[in-house]
A and B are shown apart, each in its own frame.
Chain A
Amino acid sequence: MAETTLGHADHTAPRPPGLRGFIADWSSDQRAFKGVSWGKAMMWIFLLSDTFIFGCFLLSYMTARMSTVVPWPNPSEVFGLHLFGQNIPLILIAIMTFVLISSSGTMAMAVNFGYRRDRRKTAILMLLTAVLGATFVGMQAFEWTKLISEGVRPWENPWGAAQFGSTFFMITGFHGTHVTIGVIFLLIVARKVWRGDYETGERGFFTSRRGQYESVEIMGLYWHFVDLVWVFIFAFFYLW
């Protein structure tokens, strides 16, 4: 992210009205999205592509679930925990969701402090986000272990359609991978913020480019996306 935005173009040329103006804006000089850096644009477009991946996964899951001729396991029972002598439905997943959504909150605060160039707070909040993310993955591992010990496999489970296990492991696994990658990058960026790489213009080890505070915000985009996807997975998998 070596480039800097030198402010918006001073468009002295009159814009045509209506649809033509709309198009003229979009196709305007040098950059289509004014004031949006390369890194941010790239992340947005990547997320769009990733949306299609998750979309295909979820649609396939829905197709499988709607077309199966054997019963689908009841999520409230399957995902319940036996705590304090009673069965509480969806309790684990509720906590997981809470943790992940909270991590979105800390991430947003980190971005805010990043804008203010508050190195310490930015780094700490990013670390906190990473810890929450790691907690989420940890709980997911626990959930997987529990289900596996109860006999859920990609090819069978004790309660009904075999696709239950395979779609569950595949989709939550793919999402969990996203979270894990996010945690790793959070740690990397937090370290850079902490060391002040973005002030000193330290060059990246791989890219040999100077980093920018903006990485915090780009990281935030990714992280919020991963959370948003989780909301859909939660709704379609656990609440349906």
Chain B
Amino acid sequence: MVDVTPHGADLIPPAEVGEMDLYHPHSWWTKYVFSQDAKVIAIQYSGTALAIGLVALVLSWLMRLQLGFPGTFDFITPEAYYQFMTMHGMIMVIYLLTALFLGGFGNYLIPLMVGARDMVFPYVNMLSYWIYLLAVLVLVASFFAPGGPTGAGWTLYPPQAILSGTPGGTGPGIILMLVSLILFIIGFTMGGLNYVVTVLQGRTRGMTLMRLPLTVWGIFTATVMALLAFPALFVACVMMLFDRAIGSSFFMPAIVEMGEQSPHNGGSPIMFQHLFWFFGHPEVYIVALPAFGIVSDLISTHARKNIFGYRMMVWAIVGIGALSFVVWAHHMYVSGMHPYFGFFFATTTLIIAVPTAIKVYNWVLTLWRGDIHLTIPMLFALAFIVTFVNGGLTGLFLGNVVVDVPLSDTMFVVAHFHMVMGVAPIMVVFGAVYHWYPKMTGRMLNEWMGRFHFWVTFIGAYLIFFPMHYVGLVGVPRRYPELGDTAFIPPSVHTLNEFITVAALTVGFAQLVFLFNLFWSIRHGKEAGDNPWRATTLEWQTAGTPPPHGNFGKELPVVYRWAYDYSVPGAPEDFIAQNDPGPATQGGPATRGGPATQGGPATQGGPA
């Protein structure tokens, strides 16, 4: 089908790019701290993201404790609940998932998978991380600011976000939040430009775009989207900062605050919603597309079968990316917009289901009659598919205006988005960590801790979020710290809330096992070797594990085939690496100055 040509060797053109001018560190500081090596930057990004993610996890426990056992914990006041909720949501979506998928996996995998020595501009790449760290520190600082962090909800809707009724609304809380987001966007842009240019312009010989592993396609498309979507958030943050700090009224209408007329006048809160969701919806896919890509590779590798419909998969990724820019107002059905707009946005939203469904079918067809190894990465990949389908189905409810209106702002929405953009991508994060940890450290993660982690997390996630759909359907609103004796809420809801809390705490503690495993296996894990999963992609063919500075040996690899040559009939092994010239070496067709004649890559026309 695609690019499985056995005679690929005679099509290898000479190098178009000279050797990269790499920076070689001279001291411990430039090697491990202010490092320009994408692999080190990736680990710094991932470590920071996981650390701040842990904060978000703890916040979710606190929220659950309050919801399950209202009135038991004195320190969780309604204000504190709002603050926990806001910070939990914001950290999870932006500082954990976005940073981890793009800054973490992007940095680690892109240069290795496309066969580059590093990102194209390593210095800018390094700056990207340090600015991200600064953004995280500013965010953390808001916990210690007078009045605490903002409690405006992760959507930060004005006017309430900057009024005195909201925690942190008139104090430094909201200001620190906005500054932190602005910093994040600046830092991300620096990294994002690197990822995009590396994929477009820095590939090794033979690596056409249509031979890229889907992981790279996912991260690449997500990065392009982020570069186009974050500007809207940037602008919204700048304007809100001005509204708060210097008294402008971009988003603030004339309003009475605590019995007094506020000085603001004539601004439009709806404008903020448009800007926010023009960023916010693509953001969902910025988190989802890397997950799509990674899961495709996990499935193909661990089912020893080529991905079904590679081209379709690529087009689906690109199509989803493009479509997700024209659906944003489905988050605003209850904002009072014109019904025709609602019609338009409902239609585009449902159209996205088409490429998404194609992807799901293709994953299933890849598994179909595959040689499925239930390794831990595979388990997580399967969990992802199931969970994503689940979340997608509830998405159909919420995408339709008439069904959405009664469900809006209920726990049903919370359950829905936790399924699609919470649990599902997190499953992929775990799967990817179990898959690539051996490359990063040279050792496997402990198998039994891993299996324990998987089952508790997977089953637990369903125990948490399945009942939540029901709770939402009977009308429990989201963002309510306690329900009191509201008449329409049946007692079963209270029981379920307790149950969910217990499940959430259990799942939370299972993550500690995972963290322990991460540290424990660095020393005590099983030796992994260079290619423990017998995978085809270039990162497994490096000159050592973990890959050295510069990734590959003296010569960059030359790519002869796509990334999915698993179980090829007649091949000596059940996988053929992308840089394996294949049968051509065994007296195959004569090659034109191609490297394959010497049985190894690049003797002539190699990098200058």
The residues in B between 202 and 235 inclusive whose CB is less than 8 angstroms from any CB of A are: 202-210, 227-228, 230-232, 234-235
Judge whether B235 and A42 touch: CB under 8 Å: no
Complex: A201 Cα to B121 Cα, angstroms: 17
On chain B, the residues within 8 Å of A154 by CB distance are: 242, 246-248
Judge whether B271 and A2 touch: CB under 8 Å: no
Contact of A13 among B11, B15, B268 (CB under 8 A): B11
On chain B, the residues within 8 Å of A11 by CB distance are: 13
Chain A, Cβ-Cβ closest to B238: A170
Complex: A167 Cα to B242 Cα, angstroms: 10
Contact of A6 among B17, B21, B206, B265 (CB under 8 A): B17
On chain A, the residues within 8 Å of B14 by CB distance are: 6, 9-10
Chain B, Cβ-Cβ closest to A26: B209
Contact of A27 among B189, B208, B265, B266 (CB under 8 A): B208
Chain B, Cβ-Cβ closest to A34: B16
Chain B, Cβ-Cβ closest to A209: B21
Q: Which among B192-200, B337-345, B372-380, B474-482 touches the partner chain? A: B192-200
Judge whether B205 and A30 touch: CB under 8 Å: yes
B289 interface residue per 8 A CB criterion: no
A155 interface residue per 8 A CB criterion: yes
With A36-B201, A56-B232: A6-B250 Cβ-Cβ less than 8 Å: no
Judge whether A166 and B248 touch: CB under 8 Å: yes
Chain B 89-103 near chain A by CB (<8 Å), digits 1 or 0: 000000000000000
Complex: A229 Cα to B239 Cα, angstroms: 19
B592 interface residue per 8 A CB criterion: yes
Judge whether B201 and A33 touch: CB under 8 Å: yes
With A3-B18, A6-B18: A49-B201 Cβ-Cβ less than 8 Å: no
A8 to chain B, nearest CB (A): 7
Contact of B197 among A23, A42, A48 (CB under 8 A): A42
Judge whether B197 and A45 touch: CB under 8 Å: yes
On chain A, the residues within 8 Å of B246 by CB distance are: 154-155
Judge whether B234 and A163 touch: CB under 8 Å: no
On chain B, the residues within 8 Å of A37 by CB distance are: 201
On chain B, the residues within 8 Å of A207 by CB distance are: 23, 121, 123
The residues in B between 117 and 136 inclusive whose CB is less than 8 angstroms from any CB of A are: 120-121, 123
On chain B, the residues within 8 Å of A163 by CB distance are: 248-250, 266-267
With A9-B16, A64-B250, A155-B246: A162-B203 Cβ-Cβ less than 8 Å: no
Judge whether A38 and B275 touch: CB under 8 Å: no
Chain A, Cβ-Cβ closest to B278: A56
On chain B, the residues within 8 Å of A48 by CB distance are: 227-228
B47 interface residue per 8 A CB criterion: no
Chain A, Cβ-Cβ closest to B200: A32
CB < 8 Å A-B pair total: 174
Judge whether A49 and B235 touch: CB under 8 Å: no
Chain B, Cβ-Cβ closest to A201: B21
Chain B 317-353 near chain A by CB (<8 Å), digits 1 or 0: 0000000000000000000000000000000000000
B386 interface residue per 8 A CB criterion: no
Judge whether B21 and A52 touch: CB under 8 Å: no
Chain A 195-208 near chain B by CB (<8 Å), digits 1 or 0: 00000000000111
A86 interface residue per 8 A CB criterion: no
On chain B, the residues within 8 Å of A153 by CB distance are: 247
Complex: A55 Cα to B232 Cα, angstroms: 9
From B206, B228, B592, name the one whose CB has the most chain A CB atoms within 10 angstroms.
Answer: B228
Contact of B266 among A3, A9, A28, A161 (CB under 8 A): A161
Judge whether A3 and B208 touch: CB under 8 Å: no
B339 to chain A, nearest CB (A): 19
With A36-B201, A166-B250: A9-B18 Cβ-Cβ less than 8 Å: no
From B13, B16, B21, B266, name the one whose CB has the most chain A CB atoms within 10 angstroms.
Answer: B16
The residues in B between 257 and 305 inclusive whose CB is less than 8 angstroms from any CB of A are: 263-268, 271, 275, 278
Give 22 CB contacts A-B under 8 Å.
A13-B11, A24-B208, A28-B209, A29-B203, A30-B13, A30-B207, A32-B200, A39-B121, A42-B194, A49-B228, A52-B232, A55-B231, A56-B232, A63-B271, A64-B271, A68-B266, A154-B242, A155-B247, A165-B248, A170-B242, A207-B23, A209-B21
Binding site for A on B (CB under 8 A): 11, 13-21, 23, 120-121, 123, 189, 192-194, 196-197, 200-210, 227-228, 230-232, 234-236, 238-239, 242, 246-250, 263-268, 271, 275, 278, 592, 608
Known A27-B209, A170-B239; further 9 A-B contacts with Cβ < 8 A: A6-B608, A31-B200, A31-B202, A32-B200, A50-B231, A56-B234, A155-B263, A162-B249, A208-B123
Shortest beta-carbon contacts, A-B, top 10 = A2-B21, A27-B209, A166-B248, A52-B231, A56-B235, A154-B248, A53-B231, A207-B123, A155-B247, A9-B13
